Amino acid sequence: MDIDEFLLARWTEREQTARLACNGTNGQWHVTNQERQIEADDFGKFVIYDEGGHNEHQAAHIALHDPAAVLADIAAKRAILAEHPQVAADRPHKDGPQTGCRTCHADTHCGEIEARGLCETVRHLATPDATHPDYNPDWSLS
């Protein structure tokens, strides 16, 4: 599995979870004036009641990470990934990387793609999922 496949799989999982969490709402949630209840913006439908299982800070956190925010975040990440495709290097190393990032590893003078492997941008995108069993430690930035 390459890093693009890994990222797309994680993001697809999150999108599916976010869509299911909408549960008939538009996915935009806010904390009510009772500070621990969360309702959807479109119908005023309660999503999470104040039953004492969470405090007002946790309620605010949940509302900030509502399904609409998750879907927008993933759409932005997909766009970033699309801007950093791995392509064949114009002069690959004999024993090193054969690819480079079209955006980050293009020589500014001649436009040739340098053989530098994965760029840091794509590696950063994978770090939130570094504990996933399919994460490859070779993608790490450290």
Work out whether 69 is an interface residue with Zn ion (CB under 5 A): no
Q: Which of 4, 15, 90, 103 binds Zn ion (CB under 5 A)?
A: 103
- Given 15, 106, 121, 123, the residue binding Zn ion (CB under 5 A): 121
Q: How many CA atoms lie within 13 A of 90 on its CB side?
A: 9
CB of 110 to Zn ion, least distance (A): 18
> Does 116 contact Zn ion by CB under 5 A?
no
Binding mask 73-102 for Zn ion (x = CB under 5 A): -----------x----------------x-
Please tell me what DSSP assigns to residue 48: E
CA–CA gap between residue 36 and residue 49 (Å, rounded): 7
Other C-beta atoms closer than 10 Å to the C-beta of 140 total 11
CA distances in angstroms from 91 to 7, 48, 121, 124, 139, listed in the order given:
27, 56, 22, 25, 22
Residue nearer to Zn ion on the CB measure, 10 or 84 = 84
79 three-state secondary structure? helix
- Least distance in Å: CB of 116 to Zn ion? 9
Print the binding letters for residues 13-42 with Zn ion: x by CB under 5 A, - otherwise: ------------------------------
DSSP state for residue 110 in the 8-state scheme: T
Min CB(132)–Zn ion separation in Å: 21
Confirm if 67 and 27 have CB atoms less than 8 A apart: yes
Q: Return residues touching Zn ion (CB under 5 A).
A: 84, 101, 103-104, 119, 121
